[in-house]
Structure 1
Amino acid sequence: MIQYPHGYELPEKMPIVYEASLDFPWNDTIELIYTSAPESPGFIWLFGQGVVGQIEHMFCLLGHRKTRMKDAKKSTIFNDYIAFLCHLSQELEFEDKLTIVNGEKIVNSVARYNPQYHQTINKPRYFLCFVTTIRNMAYLVDEWYEYHRRVGFDHLIIYDNNSTDGLGKLFVNRTDLEIIRWPWRRSQHQAYTHALLFTRDRCVWTLFSDLDVFIFPRSSNSVRSVIQNQATSDIAQISFKLLRMSHENLVECFNASITETYIHRKQLPDAWDKSPSAAVITSLAVPIHRIHTASLLKPYKSITLSSDIAYGVHYSDRCWKQYFLQKVVGRTGVKDWIVPRTVNILHPSENWQKLSKAATIKDTEFRDFKRKIMRMPMPKPVLFR
């Protein structure tokens, strides 16, 4: 067993866990529909992957009723369809199969109809939520959760991509932290698109970002107040630039927080990531997410904040063992690079040293801010009834 921060342990060989309802092994050639979410009254979105074809040859098949498809959305990375808008039939019964017909083929589906999932949710709406997707990163959740609750996030949602590190059991009793099991590989587009719909009745603003990103409100102590001050009547999306901190060529993993350990970066502007993280008014977004940003309904627009106001601090490149497990072992379908035989969990590649080249600038501004914020009491969530 390999020891990780906060006392969590991960097995050196992590087993692949499949959804209980899947009675077949994963196969990249399988066209699969796996879940649904409500749209406006009378419509639902189905989510899947690997569906290649022409929309005019696709139909919805809900229960035993075949209807013409109203819309379909393509992945912004792969040339396949990931979301399908269907008319919701009043004849549907509990556990009826939800799927599509692609040409002459009925697409495999594990999605089933549950009327509770397709009704308007009359629950309190949070003002600001944080949505992320993770796999075997429970050792980062404590610090991420405690910090973001103190800077104004009312509810945090994790899409769990088949973690085997006890994530669900470790954080089961936190009412303001929600974990949604999301076992499908290469489906971050779909998870974030699902969250756009899922959070419409729960959150006014939803931020989409990685678990190792900490939003830093430089102009105040609150991300909520930054959004309230920057948002005008026609702004429905606010993007935060991401400042990447360096792993500093660490091979062994320190039993300490990442914000305390990684305090070096490259010189500006090289330290900024190419893509930002964005908070969006989900009710004003088109139901398709691009992982970093969402498309908005007209006439609403997006802005990117100046780093003087706020930005995100990104701790993507950490110690070698964590990097290896997440980028090599964790990504079972997509490799960042071909792994030579000389490289393993104990022996880094040459590229690992190159990642932190020129990362010699010491930057403790965010670390010092976090230390101050973490001494503050946990605020109550802001609810809209």
Structure 2
Amino acid sequence: MAGAKRTLPVKARAASTLCLTHVLAVALGAALFVLFASVVLPSGFGRGVGDRLSRSWGAPTPPGQTGLEALSRPTPTGPDGAPLVPAPVAAGWQLGVVDYAMPDFETPLVFAAYVENGTDFYLYAQGTLVLFSGSTAPDLDVKACSAGGEHMRLADRWNNVFHCKSHRPLRRGEPLTLVYADETAAGGLAAVDSKAAFDGLVDVPSAGAPKYYTCASTQVKNTDYLADWLAYHRRLGVDHFYLYDNSANGTVGAALAPPRPDTDVLVWPWRKSQQQANSHMATLGRARCHWVLFSDVDEFVFVKGATGRGPAPLRRLLAQREAAGKQQVSLYRLEMGSSGVLRKTDAPLAETYTKRRKGKGLWLNYKSAVLLKDAIPYSRVHFFDLRVKPLGFNWAFIQQWDEMQAMVEWDWFKVWDPRGHIVHYSTKSWSEYIAKYSGDLNGMIPNIGFERFNYTVDSPPSFWPAFGGVYRDTAFRNYKRRIDKRDEPEPMLVIN
């Protein structure tokens, strides 16, 4: 309770031990990640799959009349003069039967499907690949896809996402799943349990159809910071949002009810499924979006430069990079600290958290915006493979890091890039931090000593005021204040 006597068994040593344990755990994980990729994986691992992907998808789409001139093009309209807009996402949209009493994420399950043209379909699964799911069960040796019990060709896969080819038009209502090798099953093959079936809807991108110039896609579990994130990125130039509701009971959709016309909510309650959600968006979005920004709701795009009148900053940035021949833009992510905040507030993140580190640990990974027409629809969470040079299966891309950064089609922003970066509020308040990590609730980071040192919501560690840095940085807060005063721009649409 508030004001209760703290019962830390060892004060300074406990605090330093917890910090050190956290740092060492992250460092050890990163070291093992790189070691596995460089030593355990053979040289060139995954390139065969990359070559197969390249053959499967063919050459990248030639550049059209896009780029800076797109900013001044009129909005496409129909015969009645009304703006032409992409089709909304139909209710359900082949996401499978939603069951919130889902099995553990280790259990193999096909939970969603996407049918693109009646013969090409994608399956989104869990528990088929140990390397990325954390499962202790063996990998499934997936041999084929299945529609209505009939085997279909598996064209390619990436982790728990599978691209299937049907030799006939799919029939409405038939179940869709995967087939894997099983010595105990009749014929040596067994089907993965599935909640997905073809609902009769197909989604064919057509020439001359309108697309939103800039979309944003995110997977959301709670709505605490969602409204501010949406409002800010609308003013920054995002034309349409696709929210994958990852809550345990559909709270995201309920919180936005009724959603604005620029927001689609897709029910997606499956655990450890961000990679699958992003991959799903890469197929769903091809008929609807030109650029897509993939970001979390605690990540804000900081586009340096104009904040007053003129083109929306993100829209202008992407148009400039497209005019320069770029197909993907990856922005470095700057990590903000706790600012010593103990309990969650209702204030916007940028107003609450204004302190960070100055040296090591300040920058961590990237987030990206990608031209969907040039991307292979298998997400690596932080970026996509481009059709011009697929990188291969699993961790093969680690061995190709230098090649990736040398690709002329891929724009990698650097540390303190004058064009901008992502501001990431990952730590937040102590109450949110302990709720997220003390019980391994997110399935990623283990308990690192909360119970051992008797840390509770009401008894934070002495180092918390300095956790994540003490250097005051209000640059983004001030920038966001100016952006928040802008009028929302009209949606920008382009003809494919």
Confirm or deny: 8 A CA contact 1:38 1:119 kept in the other structure: no
Match of 1:175 among 255, 261, 272: 261
Q: For 1:195, what is the secondary structure of its paired residue?
A: helix
Q: For 2:481, what is the secondary structure of its paired residue?
A: helix
* One-letter amino acid of the counterpart of residue 479, structure 2: F
1:280 aligns with 2:333: no
* One-letter amino acid of the counterpart of residue 334, structure 2: L
Match of 1:226 among 278, 296, 317: 317
1:322-357 per-position Cα deviation (integer Å, ceiling 9, x unaligned): 22334456835333434543244444467856742x
Shift of 1:100: 1.0
**Greater Rg over alpha carbons, structure:** 2
1:160 aligns with 2:160: no
- Aligned positions of 1:261-280 closer than 5 A: 261-268=352-359, 270-273=361-364, 275-280=365-370
More helix by share: 2
Aligned to 1:237: 328
Please list every run of 5 or more consecutive structure 2 residues that lacks an aligned counterpart in the other structure: 1-95, 130-137, 182-188, 308-312, 390-407
Shift of 1:139: 1.5
- Aligned positions of 1:32-51 closer than 5 A: 32-39=109-116, 42-51=119-128
Instruction: Work out the percentage of aligned pairs sharing the same amino acid.
Output: 27
Compare 218-227 and 40-49 and name the one that shifted more: 40-49
Aligned to 2:473: 363
* One-letter amino acid of the counterpart of residue 27, structure 1: D
Q: Whole-Å Cα distance in 1 between the matches of residues 264 and 458 of structure 2?
A: 34
Shift of 1:179: 1.6
* One-letter amino acid of the counterpart of residue 148, structure 2: G
Shift of 1:239: 0.8
Aligned to 1:16: none
Shift of 1:248: 1.8
Q: For 1:230, what is the secondary structure of its paired residue?
A: helix
Q: Whole-Å Cα distance in 1 between the matches of residues 278 and 490 of structure 2?
A: 26
Q: Whole-Å Cα distance in 2 between the matches of residues 54 and 254 of structure 1?
A: 43
Q: 1:146 to 1:96 in 2, by over 3 A?
A: same
Confirm or deny: 8 A CA contact 1:263 1:362 kept in the other structure: yes
- Equivalent pairs, count: 356
Q: Whole-Å Cα distance in 1 between the matches of residues 230 and 105 of structure 2?
A: 34
* One-letter amino acid of the counterpart of residue 121, structure 2: I
Aligned to 1:302: 410
Q: 1:328 to 1:118 in 2, by over 3 A?
A: farther
Shift of 1:215: 0.5
- Aligned positions of 1:303-318 closer than 5 A: 303-306=411-414, 307-318=417-428
Match of 1:30 among 91, 97, 107: 107
Q: Whole-Å Cα distance in 1 between the matches of residues 101 and 356 of structure 2?
A: 45
Please list every run of 5 or more consecutive structure 1 residues that lacks an aligned counterpart in the other structure: 1-18, 75-81
Q: 1:187 to 1:328 in 2, by over 3 A?
A: farther
Q: 1:227 to 1:380 in 2, by over 3 A?
A: same
Match of 2:162 among 84, 95, 111: 84
1:140 aligns with 2:256: no
Q: Whole-Å Cα distance in 2 between the matches of residues 120 and 43 of structure 1?
A: 13
Aligned to 1:13: none
- Aligned positions of 1:186-201 closer than 5 A: 186-201=272-287
Q: 1:178 to 1:200 in 2, by over 3 A?
A: same
Q: 1:253 to 1:119 in 2, by over 3 A?
A: same
* One-letter amino acid of the counterpart of residue 165, structure 2: H
Compare 199-208 and 159-168 and name the one that shifted more: 159-168
Q: Whole-Å Cα distance in 1 between the matches of residues 428 and 347 of structure 2?
A: 12
Confirm or deny: 8 A CA contact 1:133 1:191 kept in the other structure: yes
Q: 1:65 to 1:144 in 2, by over 3 A?
A: same
